[in-house]
Amino acid sequence: MLSGGRDRRKSGTRPEAVTRVAGPSRANRRTSDRQIDCREADPNCGENGWRGRILAPTLTSLRSRMMPGSMSRAGSGFGSGGVRLAAWSVLHHGQRMSPATRTFAARTSGPSAPAGPAPPAPAVLGAWSGQASDVLTGEDALRDAIADIHRPVYVLDHDDAAHAGARRAVACRGEMRFGTDVRLFDGDRGIIGHAAPMRLGSLGDPEFRTAHRLKLACVAGAMANGIGSVEVVEAMSRAGMVGIFGAAGLPLRTIEAAIDRLTSSLGGAPFGFNLIHSPNEPDLEHGVVDLYLRHGVRLVEASAYMRLTLPLIRYRVSGIYRDTDGKVVTPNRVIAKVSRVEVATRFFSPPPEAFLQELVASGDITETQARLAREIPVAQDLTAEADSGGHTDNRPAVGLLPTMIALRDRIQREYGYQESLRVGAAGGIATPHAVAAVFAMGAAYVLVGSVNQSCVEAGTSQAVREMLAASEQADIAMAPAADMFEMGVKVQVLKRGTMFAMRAGRLYELYRTYGSIDEIPADERKKLEETVFRATFDEILDEVRTYFLDRDPAQWERAQVDPQHRMALAFRWYLGQTSIWANSGEPSRSLDYQIWCGPGMGAFNAWVQDSFLAEARNRSVVTVSLNFLYGAAVLGRIQTLRSQGVTLSPEQQQVLPRTLAQLELHLP
Ligand SMILES: Cc1cc2nc3c(=O)[nH]c(=O)nc-3n(C[C@H](O)[C@H](O)[C@H](O)COP(=O)(O)O)c2cc1C
């Protein structure tokens, strides 16, 4: 055993010994150095030598695999300026090796075993003193302490004869002294790990929460056709988060009814509406913006934009003014959703001059307002959307988010906006681990889509919720999008239990191959009519005409002179119906259900398996969102302890789903 503080403290630390601890004696330092030198010179110079370089990391991982309940410890010592208090953990491991690990050690040791570096011992961060009754030992004590996020966790160096077998302990209260020169007095214990209290309301960017009047930095993203329903929006808003109503694909009167309901039911609490770019239906975008301005909708999630449009800019700058403090105030806020840098650049820049001039000319804004608009970005908040359900570029979040954050900083420097730009994360936000990761990467907020569709509030059918709850990560595919079919744009959908992706893919192939419905070979046409559409082309075109004459007559006029467009509208009829059948749960059409879904759905299902959240009927958007935030807070504490050198067993690092009642103890 190396000489060190651990043994001294075991027999009761005297003030003189404390002085030695704080400032290393030459003798102690030499002993310690000699030991390390020996290992470095020859990995096989002695038992301690090879153990230090090879066995410690091997045993650490072996322990967690073979003895998941054990707390493996890598030893502890004072950091800079202090004498090393504890011996390398390998010495302890050596003394405590079970027969199984001894056999393993024998197999991995010897001349042919690779020489790896010894694991760094956790530094002693400070000194703890307090009631003996506050010191807890055992696997569960540390796990429970980490889970109790409102209280600090102190992992204590613990080698007390009274607790035979325990190598470290945990305390959540007591007196702490931190620093590199802290002395340990009689009865003190070294702190080898410390995680500060966390609040769910501290996650993300405080300016985001303030700007949108939220308690928690979590958004329920828009889901078309009212799948992002008024119930989703109400539930999120009442829990201090925000939901975006899924206005895309809905007629204006339905959107208006949703605005009326949310305005009265939420009594001024935040809510948002989707403003989706509709390149095929420009009049619709104007109509939606008219509606939002008329009804005072103060937040939109702007999505599917490649280029900015006049209605979008009109919404953003309407009512802009400078307050008495000289600050430019925009009553209307835009959260942009993008996955490409060039589009993000447009949203983070001030509105294009040409649009401002057009709005001045049309009397929508004054010259003064146009001047003020040059001082603000089109969107203060931008969601970097990685691989997601629905429209997606399938980008990985770990690459996309840092790129968008760097862009944010560059544009903020360039324009020097009064209010800082912010970047949130979406796409695969489906586990506490994903939430913890993107917050660690600097996300201002998180936005969830796919998982919310499987919740009870979503405006879809129980059949769809159950199909989603049964899916795995690979059960998704890209399929042609109804709204941008001719452009070859695709959406990510559920593959398991439905033939939609395959059938829609075939329709796109036919569209690319033939110039009109008549050119499609007769047997293929027959198969489509009988098996896929279950209607004739004539019947479908009748419905298409009625639909477009009401909604967008130009489309139907074009179909009269362009037979390929006519064919596209017939195929788009099928693509449109498949969403309606899914949302209504039409049992005779389950094989045609079009269900937008990203890989996050499978990740969520894997996380909640064997818990109450495995059942779709137990999923509510608030329970899910709070689980994400709470789990992220716990994982943040776990990561802090691990980065200090505290090793944790798999069980101690596990974050399991909690009920709403359990989560409410941790609010806000
Ligand atoms: C069923 C469904 C419908 C969606 N509809 C829209 C939409 O109409 N407008 C929009 O901006 N985003 C839409 N999205 C995208 C979500 O708002 C969100 O950005 C995305 O789902 C996040 O990724 P995730 O699916 O991995 O959680 C939809 C997503 C799903 C799953």
In a domain, 159, yes or no: yes
**Looking at residue 633, what is its pLDDT?**
98
In DSSP notation, 14-64 reads -HHHHHHHHS--HHHHHHHHHHHHHHHH-TTSSHHHHIIIIIHHHHHHHHH
463 lies in a domain?
A: no
Residues 58, 531: Cα–Cα separation, whole Å:
59
Separation of CA 221 and ligand 1 centre (Å): 6
- Whether residues 304 and 394 share a domain: the answer is yes
- Give the type of residue at 499: M
Nearest ligand 1 atom to the CA of 246 is 8
Question: Given the DSSP bridges, would you call strands 123-124 and 168-171 parallel, antiparallel or unpaired?
Answer: unpaired
Kindly state whether residues 344 and 440 are assigned to the same domain: yes
Neighbours of 281 (CB within 10 A): 17
Where the chain has pLDDT below 70, the residues are 1-121, 160-166
> Could you tell me if residue 267 is inside a domain?
yes
Could you tell which of 303, 447, 452, 593 is best to mutate to test the pocket of ligand 1, judged by most ligand atoms within 8 Å of the CB? Answer: 303
Tokens linked to 285: 């975008």
Tell whether 230 is covered by a domain: yes
pLDDT of 186: 87
Domain end (from 197, 232, 260): 197
**Whole-angstrom distance, CA of residue 651 vs CA of residue 337:** 37
Q: Do 502 and 452 fall into the same domain?
A: no
Tokens of 566: 């006519």
How far is ligand 1, taken at its centre, from the CA of residue 394, in Å? 13
pLDDT computed for residue 166 by the predictor: 56
Q: Is the CB of 227 under 6 A from ligand 1?
A: yes
Last residue of a domain, one of 537, 570, 594: 594
Q: Is 276 in the pocket of ligand 1 (CB under 6 A)?
A: yes
Residue 477 and residue 596: Cα distance in Å, rounded? 10
Is residue 461 situated within a structural domain?
A: no
613 vs 605: CA distance, rounded Å: 8
Q: How far apart are the CA of 264 and the centre of ligand 1, in A? A: 26
CA angle 214, 217, 220 (to 5 degrees): 95
The residue among 594, 625, 648 that closes a domain is 594
* Domain identity same for 25 and 86: yes
Task: Tokens 């570096």: give the residue.
Answer: 117
My answer on whether 452 and 472 are in the same domain is no
Q: At what angle do helices 621-643 and 432-440 cross, to 10 degrees?
A: 60
To test the pocket of ligand 1, the residue of 388, 445, 490, 595 to mutate (highest count of ligand atoms within 8 Å of its CB) is: 388
Verify that 184 and 219 share a domain, yes or no. Answer: no
Residue partners of 494: CB distance under 8 A and separation at least 6: 467, 468, 471, 475, 476, 593, 595, 596, 597, 601
Note whether 297 and 262 are within 8 A (CB).
Answer: no
Domain co-membership, 390 together with 339: yes
| Ligand 1 site, residue 301, Cβ cutoff 6 A | yes
Domain count, the chain: 3
Same domain? 180 vs 238: no
Q: Which residues have a Cβ under 8 Å from the Cβ of 556 and sit 6 or more positions away?
A: 544, 545, 548, 549, 569
- CA proximity to 72, closest of 50, 93, 42: 93
- 403 and 480 share one domain: no
Distance from residue 426's CA to the centre of ligand 1 (Å) = 9
Residues 158 and 269 in one domain: no
- Ligand 1 atom at minimal distance to the Cα of residue 599: 26
Whether residue 392 has its Cβ less than 6 Å from ligand 1: no
> From the CB of 332, is ligand 1 less than 6 Å away?
no
- 96 plus 219 within the same structural domain: no
Please indicate whether residue 427, judged by its CB atom, sits closer than 6 Å to ligand 1.
Answer: yes
- What is the per-residue pLDDT for 160? 59
Closest CA to 444 of 136, 248, 212: 212
Domain check: are 528 and 553 in the same one?
A: yes
Residues spanned by the domain of 270:
214-456
Residue 246 CA to ligand 1 center (angstroms) comes to 9
What pLDDT sits at residue 122? 74
Residue 78 within any structural domain of the chain: yes
Residue type, 380: Q
pLDDT digits over 145-164, tens only? 999 999 999 999 987 555 54
Number of Cβ within a 10 Å radius of residue 456: 16
* CB atoms inside a 10 Å sphere around CB 210: 9
The two three-digit tokens of residue 65, written as one number: 């695999």
Cis? peptide before 668, omega within 30° of 0: yes
Residue 289 maps to a domain: yes
Q: What is the pLDDT at residue 72?
A: 34
Domain containing 254 — which CATH number? 3.20.20.70
Does residue 454 line the site of ligand 1, with CB under 6 A? Answer: no
Q: Which distant-in-sequence residues (6+ apart) come within 8 Å of 653 by Cβ? A: 638
Please name the residue whose Cα sits nearest to atom 20 of ligand 1: 449
385 close to ligand 1 (CB < 6 Angstrom): yes
Q: Do the domain assignments include residue 285?
A: yes
Phi/psi for 386 (5° steps) reads -85, -170
Give nearest CA residue, ligand 1 atom 1: 596
